[in-house]
């Protein structure tokens, strides 16, 4: 099972991200994220043995218990690996990023304790908009409306790869309050 943990977007924030994304469709990306797949990833776990699912869910539940809600806000447009060689287009998040980073750091050892390897690079929260450009282009200096939202739960998703793009199925929800 391909799994990841994420923060979902409420409808008004998701609608703003979609509106902003549509305004960027002149950029030469091959794959644009659908509205249903927009989120802020905390941990991408790649392939996980289904036998570990129950134990992983319990560790995540315990790590989220009493963590407390916090607020995030849509921020600037950016790209990975950088603006000069964009391969992935994203919207950053602002607001209580320190709380988001603390949640990611709190859950990381719990995931690793299940024998699930995680990426070693520094956590960089974002909402992926598009991937795989078809040629060079200049990253526009634009930003979405700075909508904010309360983060009150973490979601464990299964990602199923399909030719038309990944399908994300929520498996479990973990309240932060």
pLDDT above 70 covers what percent of the chain?
A: 100
The three-class DSSP label of residue 79 is strand
- pLDDT of residue 83 exceeding 90, the answer is no
- Helix intervals (H) in 74-162: 97-112
Alpha-carbon span 168 to 140, nearest angstrom: 29
pLDDT tier for residue 22 given thresholds of 50, 70 and 90: very high
| Cβ atoms of residues 139 and 26 within 8 Å | no
The three-class DSSP label of residue 145 is coil
Domain of residue 11 covers 2-175
Q: Strands (DSSP E) along 33-125, which ranges?
A: 39-47, 70-80, 88-95
Q: Tens digit of pLDDT for each residue in 27-50?
A: 999 999 999 999 999 999 989 999
**What would the two tokens of residue 45 be?**
């776990």
pLDDT tier for residue 6 given thresholds of 50, 70 and 90: very high
Query: What count of Cα atoms within 13 Å lies in the side-chain half-sphere of residue 39?
Result: 21
Instruction: Find the CATH number of the domain harbouring 88.
Output: 3.90.1140.10
Q: How many domains does the chain have?
A: 1
Q: Cis bond leading into 81, ω under 30°? A: yes
The three-class DSSP label of residue 132 is strand
Q: Tens digit of pLDDT for each residue in 86-137?
A: 999 999 999 999 999 999 999 999 999 999 999 888 999 999 999 999 988 8
Name the residue among 53, 41, 46 with its Cα closest to residue 7: 41
Cα angle, residue 17 at apex, residues 150 and 10 outer, rounded to 5°:
30
Query: What count of Cα atoms within 13 Å lies in the side-chain half-sphere of residue 92?
Result: 14
pTM summary value: 0.94
């Amino acid at each position: 099972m391909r799994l990841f943990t994420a923060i979902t977007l409420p409808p008004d924030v998701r609608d703003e991200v979609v509106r902003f994304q549509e305004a960027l469709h002149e950029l030469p990306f091959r794959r644009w994220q659908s509205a249903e797949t927009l989120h802020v990833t905390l941990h991408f776990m790649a392939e996980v043995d289904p036998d570990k699912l129950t134990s992983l869910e319990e560790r995540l539940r315990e790590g989220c218990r009493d963590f407390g809600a916090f607020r995030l806000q849509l921020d600037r447009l950016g790209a990975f690996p950088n603006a000069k060689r964009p391969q992935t287009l994203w919207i950053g998040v602002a607001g209580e990023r320190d709380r988001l980073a603390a949640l990611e750091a709190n859950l990381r050892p719990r995931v690793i304790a299940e024998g699930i390897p995680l990426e070693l690079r520094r956590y960089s929260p974002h909402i992926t908009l598009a991937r795989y450009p078809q040629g060079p282009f200049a990253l526009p200096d634009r930003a979405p409306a700075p909508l904010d939202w309360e983060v009150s739960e973490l979601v464990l998703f299964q990602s199923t790869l399909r030719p038309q793009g990944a399908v994300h199925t929520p498996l479990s929800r973990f309240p932060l309050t």
